[in-house]
Each structure stands twice: as C-alpha cells, then as structure tokens.
C-alpha cells in the first residue's frame, strides 16, 4: 500500500542487527570519513585566526599543526587501548558511564549530542564553503545553499538510506587520492623551486599585518585548529563492525586513518607556507577556502581542480550524513536508559527512528541560520563538544584499568591518562580562548541538556510509581459504556459507526449540530425511518438522536456540554465517544481529512473531563 510506505517508510530491514563485518580497506571510509573530512576545515579554522597577522601569520601554521599532530598521536595510542578493552564498541557515553558513573556518562552524552549537531552543521557549511570557493557567484547564497543541502540530507535520511559501502568508499578514496596527489605535486614543485614555487593560480593577496603575534592569538588559532581531530573516536565506537579478529582490524584501521590525517595536515601546513596561502575573511565577498586556494596554486583551475573540490564537497556532505546515522543511535541508547523520551528508544519502523533525525535537522538548521552558514563561527562550539567527549572517554579508560588491574594496568593507565590530560588541557584552552566567540553557547547548552536528561528520568520514575499496582482485575459490575456519536448527517460512514456502537452497548446517542431548522426536521424524519424502525424491527434499543441548534455550528463546545450532561445522567458509566475517521489511499488525503477526529480526541482527552474513551471507527476510501 503506497500510503503506508510513504508515511512510515519501508522497513529498516535488520540494518541495525546485520553488521557488514568489514576489513581495513572498507573500514577506513566507513569509520574514517568523518575524521578525514576534518582536514578540510581544521587547518582553515586555525589560519582564519591568523588573518590579522597578514602574510607573517602563515609562518605560525607549521608549529600549530605539529602540536595538533602530536596531540593526535597521543589520542591515537589512547584509543588503541579503548578498542581492545571494548571490543563490542566503546562510545564515550558507554565508557564514561561504565567507569565514572551516570553523571559523567550523561555529561559525555550531552557533549556528543552537541558534537553530532555540529558534525552536520559544519559538514554542510564547509561543503558549501568549498562550492562557493569554486563558484564565487554563489557566495551571497551561502545560507540558502546550506539550508537546501540540510533539507535534502534530512529527506534522504527520513526516507531511509542504506549505508551502502560504495557511497562512502569512492568519495573517501577519491578525496584522499586527489588531495595526496596535489600535496605531492606541490612538494615536488616546492623542492624543485628551492622552496619558493610559482603558483599556477596565485592565491589572493594577503592584507598587511594588522597586529603582532601574541600567545593569546596563537592559543586561539590552536584551539580552532583542533577541530581537525574531530571524528577520530568513530573507530572505537564501531569495533563490532569489523571482521574477526575485530580488535586487530579496528586497530589497523585506526592507524591508517590517523596516518593519512597526519600526512594531510602536515602537507597542507607545509604548502600553505611555501605558497603563502592564508585564510580569507569568512562570509565576505571574495571568500575562498584554503584548500581551493591551495589546489588552484599547485595545479591550476583545470579539470583536476574541479574533481578535487568535488570530492571535498562529497566527503563533507557524507560526513554531515554520518551525524544523521549517529545522533538517533545515541538518542536511542540514552532513551533506553530512561533519560530521553521513549519515542527515541523504539525499534522497528522508521517512523519512530525519525524523531532523532528531525530533532537533529532542526537543531543544525538553527545553528546554520544563527551563524549564517559560516563554518568559522561554528568551530568554537564544535571544539568544545568534541574535546569534552574525548576527555571523558579517556578518563573513563583510566578508571577502567584501575578496576581491571593486572600486570599491564599501570602502563595502560599511563597512556590513557596522558590522553585524558592532554585532551583535558586542550579543552580548557578551547573553553578559555573561545569563550566569547561562541564556546559560551556550549556552557549553556550542555547543562541544559543534563537538566533535560534528569527531568525526563524523574518524570518516568514518577509515572512508573503512579501506575504500579498489585491490585487484581475488578470484574464486578461490568456495565457497557454509553456511546456518543457526533454525526454530520446520514451517510455510509454514520451507518457503519452506528452499527459498531450497537455492537458494544445498547445505550447509543447520536449528536448533530444543526445550523438551520430545516435540517433538524429532515434529519429527524430520516432518523425515524432509517434508524428507529430497523432497530425496533431487530429488537434492539433504538439509538437516540440529540440535535443542538447553533447557527455558528460550534461542534466542540456543544460536544463538551452533551458529554458532561450524559456523564451526569449516567454516573459510574464510561462514556465512549465514537469518531468516524476517513482513511485515504494517498498520503495527501491525510491533509484533507482526519483533522476533526484528531481535534475531537485532543479536546476530549485534554479538556479535564474524565471517564471518556475515544473510539476511532475507520472508513476506508476506495481507490
């Protein structure tokens, strides 16, 4: 049935269960795409901070990049251990909750949720940044393009996307190959030119220095550049996706990803310095991304340029897409622990899974609008979330080894401890240096999320306490309900609903709100002939007709009045309001009907009246 498929989406099959157990080569795109895509915005984020230093600022990108690569290696050794310790997958939430307790787990969860929102927002905005660099006439439409891309990704995810290997494999390897190729050519050219290569397309001239370098400025540039490390935790989350021996394959995949990322970062930094490439003012006319400048300087704006930029765009869009895969999964885990509405926890139909997708789309869309689709403005928020999750995960591992004990525990604790300390210090640097630039948003959002988590659990506990009972079924005095059926006139729908009412109770009332007196007389005649007579002939108590005259035909007010009158007339009896509901054969029929049924139900349930049961009798439209 077309409607059901459209509305609910085809079944997810057993996507969640069926692991496509992969090896290293397939694992790199599947779990490394996010981390590798960071190379497209991390160096740029650092260089943007160096703009005020003019051409001199480019010299600092070297040391900053080496510091980031050193941090990356520390985190690498730390995550190698997480992989071994959590072969079923050790996300930050799991590791922090298992080892540091619920509070730390929730803190990690809040950081991760923020992180996924930013993976989407930054992926989209950096992708569009690549696009407007290649096609500067699109620059004024940055935000519109970002939102359109977000809507597209959201729809694709709502409709259901199979994480087909190929969709990730080709763009990832194309991205790595083309960027590595450009870097290799650039390095050869630089060496051949004795360190001062001639750019094919000269990068925009950098403004002269507006300020001198300061430790504060370099610290902020480092903090921004750290976003190049986002996404490296994915492998430790997904160990169970690997072929046996899973830990071995996962570790080799992580090694490959970190190595590629480090080479890309080092190469970009080296060539920026050699070619004198600096960032351009984000969101302003004339903006061109670092990678676009670099590729154009090394190989010119030919076909290879467009292939490289195209692969960057694809990888960034796919990295946004991984946010859509991870966020609902995280929400489900949190909801299963009772900290988010149970709607997030359902298995099965896509309809329930889609809550997470929609929440994510709305949040990232809000960030994109608020920051006008400019990657650079989103970077401070991104860095906080990512490093908070890193730190909690590593700290959790320290505690894990303390509990496990054994001969290697001290060694392992030291490695994870170093990771936790370094990422923790970086987190502090990011928080302090980026506070006024946007990190303050995270300082509000994360505690707000924690409050939501705790509030949700408190509510569920309260409800559970309220409905728990040992009392057995009360099967005494089972009187049938009073049925009340609002009708518009005599139709096949009325006839079917009335018949159903008579099946469940002998006490049936129909309610009609009449706008004029002629209708009243007509309907009363019809009722006598088509309802009362056949009922009496069949020996069944005849349904009674209540007609209320109201020129404004205000259904809801009259319905409430009749409901409360009937309740008073029949104390102790349940009142069942029977609402016929048209069920269409096309999705858009839903827009044309069903409103009355839904409104009546909402009205009855929320009106404060008790003892009202709502019965939906469907009427199926023919095709």
What is the rounded distance in angstroms from the CA atom of residue 322 to the CA atom of residue 177? 21
Which pair of structure tokens corresponds to residue 357?
A: 């997708």
Could you say which residues in the range 418-477 bind its own copies, by CB under 8 A? 456, 459-460, 463, 466-476
In the complex with its own copies, the residue whose CB is nearer, 174 or 452, is 452
Q: What DSSP character marks residue 241?
A: G
Could you say which residues in the range 520-539 bind its own copies, by CB under 8 A? 529-531, 533-535, 537-538
88 binds its own copies (CB under 8 A): no
Contacting residue, 102, 255, 505, 519, with its own copies by CB under 8 A: 505
Which range of residues in 236-244, 296-304, 322-330, 479-487 is near its own copies by CB under 8 A?
479-487
What is the nearest approach in angstroms of its own copies to the Cβ of residue 347? 6
In the complex with its own copies, the residue whose CB is nearer, 74 or 110, is 110
346 binds its own copies (CB under 8 A): yes
In the complex with its own copies, the residue whose CB is nearer, 243 or 349, is 349
What is the nearest approach in angstroms of its own copies to the Cβ of residue 45? 19
What is the rounded distance in angstroms from the CA atom of residue 123 to the CA atom of residue 38? 9
602 binds its own copies (CB under 8 A): yes
What is the nearest approach in angstroms of its own copies to the Cβ of residue 129? 16
Measured CA to CA in angstroms, residue 38 lies from 41, 91, 319, 356, 431 at distances of: 6, 19, 9, 24, 20
What is the nearest approach in angstroms of its own copies to the Cβ of residue 56? 27
In the complex with its own copies, the residue whose CB is nearer, 277 or 510, is 510
| 578 three-state secondary structure | strand
What is the rounded distance in angstroms from the CA atom of residue 449 to the CA atom of residue 442? 10
C-alpha of 388 from chain center: 19
What is the rounded distance in angstroms from the CA atom of residue 469 to the CA atom of residue 382? 47
What is the nearest approach in angstroms of its own copies to the Cβ of residue 559? 10
What is the nearest approach in angstroms of its own copies to the Cβ of residue 437? 15
Could you say which residues in the range 46-85 bind its own copies, by CB under 8 A? none
In the complex with its own copies, the residue whose CB is nearer, 137 or 503, is 503
Could you say which residues in the range 274-313 bind its own copies, by CB under 8 A? 283
In the complex with its own copies, the residue whose CB is nearer, 104 or 577, is 577
Which pair of structure tokens corresponds to residue 221?
A: 């540039």
What is the rounded distance in angstroms from the CA atom of residue 108 to the CA atom of residue 91? 9
Contacting residue, 214, 240, 554, 561, with its own copies by CB under 8 A: 554
Could you say which residues in the range 555-574 bind its own copies, by CB under 8 A? 555-557, 574
Which range of residues in 63-71, 235-243, 437-445, 495-503 is near its own copies by CB under 8 A?
495-503
What is the nearest approach in angstroms of its own copies to the Cβ of residue 343? 4
198 binds its own copies (CB under 8 A): no
Residue 198: which residues within 8 A CB-CB, separation 6 or more?
A: none
Beta bridge partners of 508: 483
In the complex with its own copies, the residue whose CB is nearer, 198 or 623, is 623
What is the rounded distance in angstroms from the CA atom of residue 109 to the CA atom of residue 111? 5
85 close to 428: Cβ distance less than 8 angstroms = no
Residue with token string 């990049």: 65
What is the rounded distance in angstroms from the CA atom of residue 484 to the CA atom of residue 470? 33
Residue with token string 């290696």: 73
Could you say which residues in the range 366-395 bind its own copies, by CB under 8 A? 369-370, 372
φ, ψ (nearest 5 deg) of residue 587: -60, -35
Which pair of structure tokens corresponds to residue 53?
A: 């230093």
In the complex with its own copies, the residue whose CB is nearer, 88 or 212, is 88
Q: Using CB atoms within 10 Å of the CB of residue 462, give its burial: 0 to 12 exposed, 13 to 18 middle, 19+ buried.
A: exposed
| 208 three-state secondary structure | coil
Measured CA to CA in angstroms, residue 80 lies from 83, 397, 535 at distances of: 5, 11, 78
Which range of residues in 101-109, 122-130, 300-308, 335-343 is near its own copies by CB under 8 A?
335-343
332 close to 356: Cβ distance less than 8 angstroms = yes
What is the nearest approach in angstroms of its own copies to the Cβ of residue 575? 11
In the complex with its own copies, the residue whose CB is nearer, 288 or 581, is 581
In the complex with its own copies, the residue whose CB is nearer, 411 or 586, is 586
607 binds its own copies (CB under 8 A): yes
Cα angle value 348/349/353 (rounded, 5°):
90
Could you say which residues in the range 98-157 bind its own copies, by CB under 8 A? 140-141, 143-144, 147
Residue 618 region, left (φ>0) first, then alpha (ψ -120 to 50), else beta?
A: beta
What is the nearest approach in angstroms of its own copies to the Cβ of residue 68? 30
What is the rounded distance in angstroms from the CA atom of residue 249 to the CA atom of residue 237? 14
In the complex with its own copies, the residue whose CB is nearer, 248 or 349, is 349
């Amino acid at each position: 049935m077309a409607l059901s498929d459209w509305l609910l989406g085809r079944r997810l099959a057993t996507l969640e269960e069926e692991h496509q157990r992969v090896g290293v080569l397939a694992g790199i795109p599947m779990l490394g795409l996010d981390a590798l895509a960071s190379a497209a915005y991390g160096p740029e984020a650092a260089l943007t901070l160096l703009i005020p230093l003019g051409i001199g600022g480019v010299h600092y990108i070297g040391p900053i990049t080496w510091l980031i690569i050193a941090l990356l290696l520390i985190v690498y050794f730390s995550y190698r251990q997480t992989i071994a310790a959590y072969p079923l997958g050790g996300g930050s939430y799991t590791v922090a909750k298992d080892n540091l307790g619920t509070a730390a787990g929730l803190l990690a969860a809040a950081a991760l949720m923020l992180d996924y929102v930013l993976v989407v927002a930054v992926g989209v905005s950096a992708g569009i940044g690549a696009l407007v660099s290649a096609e500067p006439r699109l620059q004024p439409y940055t935000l519109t393009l970002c939102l359109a891309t977000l809507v597209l990704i959201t729809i694709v995810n709502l409709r259901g996307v199979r994480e087909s290997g190929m969709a990730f494999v080709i763009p990832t390897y194309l991205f790595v190959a083309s960027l590595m190729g450009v870097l290799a050519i650039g390095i050869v050219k630089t060496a051949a030119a004795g360190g001062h290569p001639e750019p094919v397309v000269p990068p925009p001239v950098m403004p002269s220095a507006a300020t001198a370098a300061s430790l504060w400025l370099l610290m902020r540039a480092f903090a921004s550049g750290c976003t190049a490390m986002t996404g490296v935790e994915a492998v430790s989350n997904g160990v169970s996706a690997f072929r046996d021996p899973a830990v071995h394959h996962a570790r080799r995949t992580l090694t490959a990803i970190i190595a590629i990322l480090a080479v890309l970062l080092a190469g970009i930094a080296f060539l920026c310095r050699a070619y004198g490439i600096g960032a351009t003012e984000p969101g302003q006319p004339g903006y061109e991304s670092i990678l676009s400048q670099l590729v154009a300087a090394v190989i010119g704006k030919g076909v290879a340029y467009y292939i490289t930029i195209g692969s960057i765009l694809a990888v960034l869009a796919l990295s946004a897409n991984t946010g859509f895969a991870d966020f609902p999964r995280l929400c489900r885990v949190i909801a299963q622990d009772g900290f988010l509405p149970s709607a997030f926890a359902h298995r099965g139909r896509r309809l329930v899974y889609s809550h997470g997708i929609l929440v994510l789309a709305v949040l990232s869309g809000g960030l994109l609008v608020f920051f006008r689709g400019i990657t650079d403005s989103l970077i401070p928020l991104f860095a906080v979330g990512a490093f908070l999750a890193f730190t909690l995960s590593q700290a959790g591992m320290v505690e894990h080894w303390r509990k496990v004990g054994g001969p290697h525990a001290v060694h392992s604790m030291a490695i994870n401890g170093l990771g936790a300390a370094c990422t923790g210090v970086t987190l502090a640097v990011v928080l302090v240096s980026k506070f006024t630039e946007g990190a303050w948003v995270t300082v509000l959002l994360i505690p707000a999320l924690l409050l939501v988590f705790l509030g949700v659990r408190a509510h569920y506990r309260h409800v559970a306490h309220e409905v728990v009972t040992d009392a057995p079924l009360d099967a005494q005095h089972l009187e049938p309900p009073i049925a009340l059926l609002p009708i518009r006139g005599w139709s096949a729908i009325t006839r079917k609903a009335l018949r159903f009412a008579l099946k469940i109770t002998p006490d049936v009332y129909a309610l009609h709100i009449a706008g004029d007196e002629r209708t009243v007389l007509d309907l009363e005649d019809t009722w006598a002939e088509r309802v009362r007579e056949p009922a009496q002939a069949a020996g069944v108590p005849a349904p009674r007709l209540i007609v209320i005259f109201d020129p404004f035909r205000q259904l809801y007010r009259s319905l409430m009045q009749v409901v409360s009158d009937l309740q008073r007339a029949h104390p102790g009896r349940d009142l069942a309001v029977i609402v016929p509901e048209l069920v269409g054969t096309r999705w858009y029929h839903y827009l044309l009907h069903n409103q009355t049924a839904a409104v009546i139900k909402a009205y009855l349930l929320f009106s404060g009246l008790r003892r009202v049961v709502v019965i939906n009798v469907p009427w199926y439209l023919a095709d």
